[in-house]
Structure 1
Amino acid sequence: MSPSLTRHLMRRAAYAPWALLVAVLMLASNSAHAIPAYARQTGSACADCHAGAYGPALTPYGMRFKLNGYTDTDGQGTKIPVAAQITGTHNVPARGDDTTQLNEVDVYLAGRISDHLGGYVKVLTDNQGNDHFNTKLSNVDLRFVAKDLKIAGKDTTIGVSVNNSPGFDDPIGAMPYTSGLGPPAVSGTLLNLSSANTLYNRVIGGSVYALYDNDWYGEIGTYNTMPTSVQDHLGYNPASDPGHLSDTGYFRFAYMKDLKSQFFSAGVVALTTKRQLPRNAPSDDVTDLGYDLTYQFLGNREHIVQASYVNIYEQRDYGSTPVVGGVVAKPTGNARDQTLSVTYTFKQSYALQVAHLISTGNQDPARYPPFGKPDSTANMISLYWTPFGKDDSFTSIANLKLAATWYRYTRFNGASMNIFGAPVGALITNAKDLDAFTLSASVAF
């Protein structure tokens, strides 16, 4: 994060610290949910693809559907590949006024085009406050897939994905861009959707992927950031431009094992690029390296337990070393984002999710004033009820989700107290002032 952006955050936080949390909540809402258009297309209930009937975590059946390019069908004629979602929230921040509003309206164009072509496109309209709505192109994942291949006598699937967020196309769903779980970060990794100047939905790229012998998954691709004019037309503020990327490579490899009543996976991920931020600045060499572990106990679907751990480390070689307050910035740096999430679901209707989110970085007083550390630690606890989307429910092709979510901060911007270093006599913001409790209702049809 640049010093100017840090100062901007400090000024905003002095008047409205909860605005930072609202931004995190908005990011979290972008995770993929069960899409009724897919249920209509396949003839399967939403709960067949998702561990909870509203998602987002995929079952092994749902992972295969994604790997097959969203093309599987029940063969009962053509279905309209359109779905919608409406979300309302009541937000109670630790500091500031309560708000109740229609938070988001989404339209999905999702489904098969042919036996080998399919996709997922989300158009999001969110409430910016005071009933000012902004429409933007959200997640995109368009696929061409060749199925039922044999290599060395083993089942093989090979596909091509064109998408706008590295990792969103990942079948396991552990990556931050897929799960919607990214540690709130002052200076996070490129693969963390909650980082400043995130790549999320602001890049375009493609990758070639393969699943071999039903267990081994590999993917390699590249990305470029969209021009700021295109970002603006798609509904994104150019002020949050992630910068210009060049020589970008993305790599993903995972072992996935479906044991019917259980599933586990272990994977690695890498992203390397040269980034200019701002676009006329010298290039920073940035490399992300990470690993992830996922476990699901599915049983007979009455009691489901899911656990995942993601650890992403980023190494930076800066193209410039600015001087701030007489202190010279370091020529190299690093960041680390970690997420541990555990979810228990009863009868695919009642669920408790607990997540521990950590973002850390190296000491650099010039880049991270006033304390020289960008560390943040937060916890998320969410209870939710999903009555529909199962074979034995009122309808299996529509969804309702009622949720209560609590965000709790113990550290932000490298401190627990006076996190923005306000002078004596000014309004002080502590990490706990970013806490919030949110009630939400979402319906998808």
Structure 2
Amino acid sequence: MPHVPLHRSSPARGGLRAPALLLLGALAGLLLLASPRAHAVASFARQTGAACADCHIGSYGPALTPYGMRFKLAGYTDSDGNGRKIPVSGQIVAARSMPARGDSTSQISELDLYLAGRISEHVGGYAKLASNNTGKDKFDTRLTEFDVRFAGSTFKLGGKDARIGVTVNNNPGAQDPIGVLPAASSLGPASAYAGSTSILNSSALSRRTVGTSVYATFDRDWYGELGTYHSMSRSWQDRLGFPVAGDPGKLSDTGYLRLAYMRDFKRHFFSAGFTALSTRQRRPRGTGPSNDIDDLGYDLTYQFLGDREHVLSLSYVNIYERRRYGDPLIGAVDPTRVPLRRGWIRDQSLGLHYAFRQRYGIRVAHMINTGSADPARYVPYGVPDTTSNLISLYWTPFGREDSYTSQANLRLSATWFRFDKFNGASKRVFGTPTTDADDLNQFQLAASVMF
């Protein structure tokens, strides 16, 4: 489930003047939950000769098996050696969404084109061009994802295998090989305001930045990555299909660090990771004051793989963010409420994914967003606290060696989204009696085809 920053309006600019817009933004954001960013790209399967189920739990993604992790670390370059394959894939997503409040909709929600494959012996990657239905069959096309890698050959270091590589991508955390960080796993807490989730779980940086990292593996068990990110210019954001109103501003002194221990026991897999992201964000662009943001996070993952008849994955992610605000809160609803100059946010997600014969599966997630009290920034209750849950049942008939095709796939899913708390409360979430947290609940039926 993609993290769900539900609307970019904030109390600083909108306050309580548009609770209806926040509600609509919430419901629209929830649609992303059933459309994970990373799928079992069919052109990779054709390139390697492997089935989708070899790389992905549930044969469709986004969760990776240890084999899929190694393919990613090798720069998407592994091949069956049977000549070059056309590095193009497509995806069509159709959904019927039934919110607790509002009208149900049935539509082709997404049309995607992937350029994905091996470029040379050491270079490979993918880019995704997505057309999302914005309503009334009008599609908004954007370059939403890319990850291009150079992966050097393995060499000996202290008698152990080692590898060094470089990744260029547009979403901090999406390049992670374990795939548990919000940008890669699609699991992350929702919130009323984009500014009330950690920057690793927010849309503020994803897709509007360009980053370069150097990564290394040692003895197959240890992974390290160090890199930096810069926000794209407004003109480039516009060229790629993103409205400039969502510009994250100018980023400076941005550093990204990832350390992880990954152990593949064949029938079992375990990992423990640490992540850090630090940046200075100036918004809007210019010479004004900036906000200093520091993220520190850790994650734990366990997979039971067995003989692949029963596959179980458990993950936990905890991200703590410290903030030092430099810009004033402009347009506050109540001028007597003075915004704090320091604050913190904590995002947590606990996920379970079970697949039977890589054909039938269930995903369950519990997500918590909490933060320091700030009555000016978080109206009306002074805290951003949101607690949400996801339950998804799916069927993937293809993508395995014993299926009709192992290199294309279909997923039929039924997903329920549920909120215990939203915007700091369970009832009257916008300070009025018209909206409760459970009004944001939604049920969705979806069909996704990858070819």
TM-score band w.r.t. shorter chain: over 0.9
Query: Where do residues 28-43 of structure 1 align in structure 2 (5 Å cutoff)?
Result: 29-43=35-49
Q: Provide the C-alpha distance between the structure 2 equivalents of 1:199 and 1:153, rounded to a whole number of angstroms.
A: 40
Contact 2:374 2:383 (8 Å CA) reproduced: yes
Relative to structure 1, the CA distance from residue 30 to residue 344 in structure 2 (aligned partners, 3 Å threshold; closer, same or farther) is closer
Shift of residue 21 of structure 1? 2.4
Query: Where do residues 1-80 of structure 1 align in structure 2 (5 Å cutoff)?
Result: 4-5=10-11, 8=14, 10-14=16-20, 17-26=23-32, 29-80=35-86
* Aligned residue number for residue 128 of structure 1: 134
Query: Where do residues 80-91 of structure 1 align in structure 2 (5 Å cutoff)?
Result: 80-91=86-97
Contact 2:55 2:67 (8 Å CA) reproduced: yes
TM-score, scaled to structure 1: 0.95
The number of equivalent residue pairs is 438
* 1:383-429, Cα deviation, whole Å (9 max, x unpaired): 0000000000000011000000000011111111111113xxxx611
Which of 294, 297, 301 is equivalent to 1:290? 297
Counterpart of 1:386, as a letter, is T
Secondary structure of residue in 1 paired with 2:101: coil
Shift of residue 243 of structure 1? 1.8
Q: Provide the C-alpha distance between the structure 2 equivalents of 1:139 and 1:116, rounded to a whole number of angstroms.
A: 21
- Higher mean Cα deviation, 93-102 or 43-52? 43-52
Q: Provide the C-alpha distance between the structure 1 equivalents of 2:14 and 2:321, rounded to a whole number of angstroms.
A: 24
Q: Provide the C-alpha distance between the structure 1 equivalents of 2:371 and 2:50, rounded to a whole number of angstroms.
A: 45
Runs (4 or more) in structure 1 with deviation over 3 Å come to 1-13, 320-324
* Aligned residue number for residue 310 of structure 1: 317
Query: Where do residues 324-339 of structure 1 align in structure 2 (5 Å cutoff)?
Result: 324-339=334-349
* Aligned residue number for residue 100 of structure 2: 94
Relative to structure 1, the CA distance from residue 131 to residue 11 in structure 2 (aligned partners, 3 Å threshold; closer, same or farther) is farther
Q: Provide the C-alpha distance between the structure 2 equivalents of 1:4 and 1:68, rounded to a whole number of angstroms.
A: 41
* Aligned residue number for residue 386 of structure 2: 376
Unaligned runs of 5+ in 1: none
* Aligned residue number for residue 410 of structure 1: 420
Shift of residue 27 of structure 1? 5.9
Secondary structure of residue in 1 paired with 2:439: helix
Relative to structure 1, the CA distance from residue 363 to residue 28 in structure 2 (aligned partners, 3 Å threshold; closer, same or farther) is farther
Query: Where do residues 157-172 of structure 1 align in structure 2 (5 Å cutoff)?
Result: 157-172=163-178
Contact 2:30 2:417 (8 Å CA) reproduced: no
- Higher mean Cα deviation, 175-184 or 382-391? 175-184
* Aligned residue number for residue 3 of structure 2: none
Relative to structure 1, the CA distance from residue 395 to residue 11 in structure 2 (aligned partners, 3 Å threshold; closer, same or farther) is farther
Which of 234, 240, 251 is equivalent to 1:245? 251
* Aligned residue number for residue 360 of structure 2: 350
Contact 1:18 1:433 (8 Å CA) reproduced: no
Secondary structure of residue in 1 paired with 2:354: strand
Which of 199, 211, 219 is equivalent to 1:190? 199
* Aligned residue number for residue 4 of structure 2: none
Unaligned runs of 5+ in 2: 1-6
- Higher mean Cα deviation, 352-361 or 278-287? 278-287
* Aligned residue number for residue 445 of structure 2: 439
Contact 2:338 2:376 (8 Å CA) reproduced: yes
CA RMSD of aligned residues (A): 1.6
* 1:143-192, Cα deviation, whole Å (9 max, x unpaired): 01102211112111110000000111110000100011121123100100
Counterpart of 2:220, as a letter, is N
Q: Provide the C-alpha distance between the structure 2 equivalents of 1:34 and 1:4, rounded to a whole number of angstroms.
A: 36
Contact 1:28 1:181 (8 Å CA) reproduced: no
TM-score, scaled to structure 2: 0.94
Contact 2:11 2:376 (8 Å CA) reproduced: no
Q: Provide the C-alpha distance between the structure 1 equivalents of 2:362 and 2:316, rounded to a whole number of angstroms.
A: 17
- Higher mean Cα deviation, 51-60 or 159-168? 51-60
Relative to structure 1, the CA distance from residue 106 to residue 375 in structure 2 (aligned partners, 3 Å threshold; closer, same or farther) is same
Q: Provide the C-alpha distance between the structure 2 equivalents of 1:16 and 1:336, rounded to a whole number of angstroms.
A: 21
Q: Provide the C-alpha distance between the structure 2 equivalents of 1:3 and 1:225, rounded to a whole number of angstroms.
A: 20
1:391 aligns with 2:379: no
